[in-house]
Amino acid sequence: MLPSTSSILSFIPRPLLPLATKIIRFGPQSLALYSDYTTALHITAALVSSTSHKSPFFPSLSRPFAPLPRPQFLHLRRTRKDVSTAGPTAAFCLLPVVGYFGVLGAFLKPRFFLSRQFYEDGEREKLGWEDVRARVENYGDVKECLRISGCDIGEVRRALVNLGEGVEGDAKVNEVLKNFREKFELGSLSKKHLVALAASRGINRWHEIFPLLSLYPRSTLIKRLKEEALDIKRDDWLIVNEVGGVEGEERREAMVDRGIEKGAVEVLDLHVKVAGRDVGFLDGGEVEGTLCESLVLHLPIILPLPSNG
């Protein structure tokens, strides 16, 4: 008969109990990650058989809009992030001797080493807002890049607010958004701007410690940012057209996903209204939408009033 968790922990010195508890829980939490991964495989297998998608797990986000319900869409998005976070940690922990440092790192810095399946009760919310705060630290750099390039952030904000309120045919609104698309599309941004924007989207959390994103080629940064923009735009569309809104835990996760600060619910609502009504991306980019990919990524930075960020 296998010993219970409590009997095992009774032999552990008190100072090491938190670490020992987390290590013991790695087993069932790893199974939870594996279960999410297999579910994602089943979802994409069905997607491949019914659409033009060809990738077995990471369907190209530049292809036509996938006919997935929001829960399945979010499952794919989150599982991709989970695997990219916990996968390297698991591989590192298998190495002799040095693998113990991976376990220690997972205990000290779970946000960098572990996926959401490994978070304890209440830890997911805490680490989610911690992730947002780390991303918000890059918003000032993005705004500075916009100003240097001649962008009137206030004017763009007013145009977006009008668009969110349904003023889609207004000539001034259309002119402002068209000018932003022409001047600030991803391919036109400087490398510094791309790096700051990628950091604001949490493309690589390790950039907080070491400037890894600065080492990415421009083409890689643009590709990752385009995928992120279409992902968020797609989710906004699903919120508007499928579920009609989000509340409670789903609202919190939507704010964290977009990098919107805690308490700024009105920013999330406007973000969803603006991007969720823009359906130009549904046919794979053949029809140009009102918002370019770059503007979608800038929304959490531009939409808050100056006093809030």
pLDDT tens digits, one per residue of 85-123? 887 877 777 777 776 777 777 777 888 888 887 787 778
- Residue 276 CA to residue 273 CA, distance in Å, equals 5
8 A C-beta contact, residue 159 and residue 173:
yes
> Is the pLDDT confidence value at 136 over 50?
yes
> Is the pLDDT confidence value at 35 over 90?
no
pLDDT tens digits, one per residue of 196-250? 999 999 998 888 888 899 999 999 999 999 989 988 888 888 888 887 888 888 9
The rounded mean pLDDT for the chain is: 79
Query: What's the whole-model pTM score?
Result: 0.79
Is the pLDDT higher at 188 or at 55?
188
Res 10: pLDDT: 53
> Is the pLDDT confidence value at 181 over 70?
yes
Radius of gyration of the chain (CA): 21
CA distance readout (Å), 175 to 78, 145, 155, 201, 285: 36, 21, 11, 27, 20
Per domain, the residue ranges of the chain are 5-120, 134-308
The helix-helix angle for 265-276 and 153-164 (nearest 10°) equals 70
Residue 166: left (phi > 0), alpha (psi -120 to 50), or beta? Answer: left
pLDDT tens digits, one per residue of 237-275? 888 888 788 888 899 999 999 999 998 899 999 898 888
103-112, 148-157, 186-195: least confidently modelled range: 103-112
Res 309: pLDDT: 42
Res 141: pLDDT: 96
